[in-house]
Amino acid sequence: MTAPAAPRTLANTGLYLRRRFANGLFIVLSLAAAVFGLVWLAMILTTLLGNGFAALGPHLFTEPTPPPGSMGGLSNAIFGSVVMSTGAVLLGTPIGVLAGTYLAEYARYGRLSFLVRFVNGNVLSAPSIVLGLFIYELVVRPMGHFSAIAGTLALTVIVIPVVVRTTENMLLLVPNGLREAAVALGATRAHVIRIVTWRAARAGIITGVLLAVARISGETAPLLFTALNNQFMSTDLTGPMASLPAVIFQYAMSPYEDWHDLAWGGALLITGTVLALSIIARLLEKKQRN
């Protein structure tokens, strides 16, 4: 705190008081903003934890989604989410890492790189529902029906820009001395990248993948009309598949009380997953930056 101690006897006392008043008001207002904002967020979290833990139980993981009025769990939705997220990460990570490598290692200052960065930033923040429409036109319409493949691809489109952005940023952190040392030993560019810079940036690149998983594990909008939903356990990738967010959406909008409980249980599972992934990602990123 640095309250300036001007002598009060000066002619500027009025000005001084006015400045002190303005400063006090500013401090009170920003404190109020912080309290106001944090209170809302705390309320959301406590509601989520309260309702979520009440609905939590082993049946969530062992039984599929029930028809209204009977008991059931979320096993098919959990399975679908895991399958589609895994698929999206497997497809999206290589493309994302390679594109990020191109931006950081091959064409850092190129005109094309500027365009790719710009477009990537736009896809990164584009409304996910629009990306869902894209996959609907690309996959669902030609196939004639909704499918887990379409859902996976919709999530892949979300994974790629996240991985591109973090990979590029993390590779930029690798000191040039390392690259130069490898080149001086006669390594080709590809060797330098694979053996030196990727290894040096490994924790950071994994951070990007984890952030991408965190992002897609809660995505609902792009799944609604790609993977749709499925009340039963299904392992058929060419057919509709349930996912946690889609089930939460359907059950929360329903008039049935026991479906609401399942929705809260699912919401808690998603939030827990996202928070855990974000925390691990933060720790890894910190390790990378040191």
Q: In angstroms, give the least distance from the CB of 22 to other proteins.
A: 5
204 token code pair: 């950071």
What residues contact 106, with CB distance under 8 A and at least 6 apart?
A: 189
Pairwise CA distance, residues 65 & 263, whole Å: 11
Pairwise CA distance, residues 59 & 74, whole Å: 8
Pairwise CA distance, residues 119 & 160, whole Å: 12
Q: In angstroms, give the least distance from the CB of 41 to other proteins.
A: 5
Contact by Cβ (8 Å): 284, 203: yes
Pairwise CA distance, residues 209 & 198, whole Å: 14
At residue 130, what are phi and psi to the nearest 5 degrees? -70, -35
Q: In angstroms, give the least distance from the CB of 131 to other proteins.
A: 7
Q: In angstroms, give the least distance from the CB of 62 to other proteins.
A: 24
C-beta of 83 vs 163, nearer to other proteins: 163
User: 230-245 burial, b for 16+ CB within 10 Å, e for fewer?
Assistant: bbeebeebeebbbbbb
Q: In angstroms, give the least distance from the CB of 89 to other proteins.
A: 15
Q: In angstroms, give the least distance from the CB of 149 to other proteins.
A: 16
C-beta of 129 vs 200, nearer to other proteins: 129
Candidates 186, 261, 249; CA nearest to 222 is 249
Q: In angstroms, give the least distance from the CB of 217 to other proteins.
A: 7
How far CA 218 is from CA of 87, 213, 275, in Å, comes to 15, 9, 11
Other Cβ atoms closer than 10 A to 32? 10
C-beta of 202 vs 218, nearer to other proteins: 218
C-beta of 76 vs 243, nearer to other proteins: 243
Q: In angstroms, give the least distance from the CB of 58 to other proteins.
A: 23
C-beta of 31 vs 90, nearer to other proteins: 31
DSSP code string of 91-147 = HHHHHHHHHHHIIIII-TT-HHHHHHHHHHHHHHHS-HHHHHHHHIIIIIHHHSS--
